[in-house]
Structure 1
Amino acid sequence: MNALAAAPLFDALAAFHRDHPHSELEPVEENYDQPVARVRSGSLDVALVGLAGDPPERLTTQVITNDRLIALTPPGSELAHRGRTALADLFEYSVLSLPVGTGIRNVLDQACAALNIDPAVALVATSPDTVAGLARRGPWVAVLGASMADAYPDLAAVPIDGAEIPALLALVWPERTSPALTVFLRHCREAFRGTR
């Protein structure tokens, strides 16, 4: 989870706990498919997930960010001097990405599939900070969402042409909610206001 998502979610959890100190909260971190399936089955009340394109069917969704993919690279690199890259040309470099099952990676894989490109990802890391940290040091180019670029001002953000599927960060929950979930969602809406 990146700082853009973590801080407001932590604020919402804290506000809910202050209002309802006897309610049980159990934050869980999992890849995309697992929390969506668990919300559908009722074993999770709400999930913050990364999505590729459209929100999941039969769930209520609040989109937090709607991003395009970008490449992050040191400012002196050849790619930074180009100023933008086509998706097919991106793989001339050693690409770093988040794991399969995350929203950003799903967008990358789907965009590559639409153009019949083999997404040869050289290295996978589980957090955006790790992906960006590695891009600072090596021959790698990080692929993340555009809203994350401000968190890494020492890296050049290079737009990727041909990756048109949006990467969404969204809260998802069932259409019917409990009173406690309704209150928690109100805190989430307040905490995430202005993060788009």
Structure 2
Amino acid sequence: MELRQLEYFLAVVEERSFTRAAARMHVAQPGVSAQIRRLERELGQELLDRAGPAVRLTQAGATFLPHAKAALSAVTDARLALDELAGLVRGRLAVGLVTSFSSVPVSDLLADFHRTYPEVEIRLSEASSDQLVAGLRDGQLDVALISTGRQLPAGLNTRVVVDEALVAAVVQEDPLAVGSEVALADLRDRPLICLPQGTGARTGLDEACEAAGFQPRVTMEAGDPHRLVELAGRGLGVAVLPAPFARRHGVRLRGLEIVAPRIRTRVALAWPAERPASPAGQAFVDLACAVVPSL
């Protein structure tokens, strides 16, 4: 049994086609078919049902599939371990970024990493902080920039890189706009426009309101802070968001720092507590920690 046979088998299963699998593996289609036939003869079982328009697993193939995946994964892990021992960084880097975050030059970080480690395939995905934390814990992500409230997530290493006040943004005509601050209690009965649950800013607001003994009256949610500003600018409610976003729209809106209590929202670089899932992940953490100042 050869590794390439397992690779061809997995490609056919995922593509459900010998032709597409061959294109994916950059080999001729007859070569893929021949190698899988040899694998089936060696195992004494047909692994694939070729009768229909799409290739399907036989019962034997379904039984064999997880073992083939495990074998290929073990070989990949062994190669990465040897690369790490030799001081090389290869493989993949899975980076998560909280949606609509722009305070850290992520593009510059990724470009610097790519110049230093050109053989690493970089994958970047955006999601809510809750989803990113789950991805770090289950090994889908090596490192992520997440937004948090007062409490940092357990089970992860974190490095806080942004710490900002949470403000209430109102139109200039709003009675609250006469000052520079607003007590949290004064927002109790106001319609609020907020980031969705799972974001650091929303978590901070919900925690503060719970401690004050009431639930915020959230009437509108949007994942993009700029959309919150647009909605508040139309007089549809009070936008609760990190201070920098309100400052950018100072002509249309007035940002009032929320006090009694003051609420902070933080962005942190996070990675698994033991270590990132790969040498590439560790290399990225080292680079980010050297370039991005901590608070």
Calculate the TM-score normalised by the size of structure 2. Answer: 0.60
TM superposition shift of 1:147: 4.0
* Matched letter for residue 81 of structure 1: V
Change (3 A) 1:109 1:24: same
Give distance in 1, aligned partners of 2:288 and 2:244. 19
Q: 1:181 — aligned with what? A: 281
Give distance in 2, aligned partners of 1:58 and 1:108. 23
Q: 1:3 — aligned with what? A: 102
Select the structure with the greater relative contact order (CA < 8 A; seq sep ≥ 6): 1
Q: 2:212 — aligned with what? A: 115
- The reply to whether residue 133 of structure 1 matches residue 230 of structure 2 is yes
Percent identity over paired residues: 37
Q: Tell me the C-alpha RMSD between the 2 structures.
A: 2.1
Give distance in 2, aligned partners of 1:101 and 1:92. 23
Give distance in 1, aligned partners of 2:171 and 2:288. 35
Give distance in 2, aligned partners of 1:188 and 1:73. 36
Q: 1:161 — aligned with what? A: 259
Structure 2: segments with no counterpart, 5+ residues = 1-99
> Contact 1:9 / 1:188 at 8 angstroms: preserved in 2?
no
> Contact 2:194 / 2:220 at 8 angstroms: preserved in 1?
yes
Give distance in 1, aligned partners of 2:179 and 2:286. 44
Residue 93 (structure 1) aligned to one of 190, 194, 200: 190
Q: How does 1:28-177 map to 2 (within 5 A)?
A: 28-154=125-251, 155-175=253-273, 176-177=275-276
> Contact 2:200 / 2:265 at 8 angstroms: preserved in 1?
yes
Structure 1: segments with no counterpart, 5+ residues = none
After superposing the two structures, state which structure 1 stretch, 146-155 or 85-94, moved more.
146-155
Give distance in 2, aligned partners of 1:153 and 1:103. 23
- The reply to whether residue 12 of structure 1 matches residue 109 of structure 2 is yes
After superposing the two structures, state which structure 1 stretch, 145-154 or 172-181, moved more.
145-154
* Matched letter for residue 293 of structure 2: R
> Contact 2:163 / 2:266 at 8 angstroms: preserved in 1?
yes
TM superposition shift of 1:190: 4.9
Q: What CA deviation, in whole Å up to 9, does each residue of 1:57-78 have, x standing for no partner?
A: 2211111112231111223322
Give distance in 2, aligned partners of 1:166 and 1:51. 9
Give distance in 2, aligned partners of 1:56 and 1:43. 17
Q: What CA deviation, in whole Å up to 9, does each residue of 1:2-36 have, x standing for no partner?
A: 3324xx11211121122222211111112122211
More helix by share: 2
SS at match of 1:42: coil
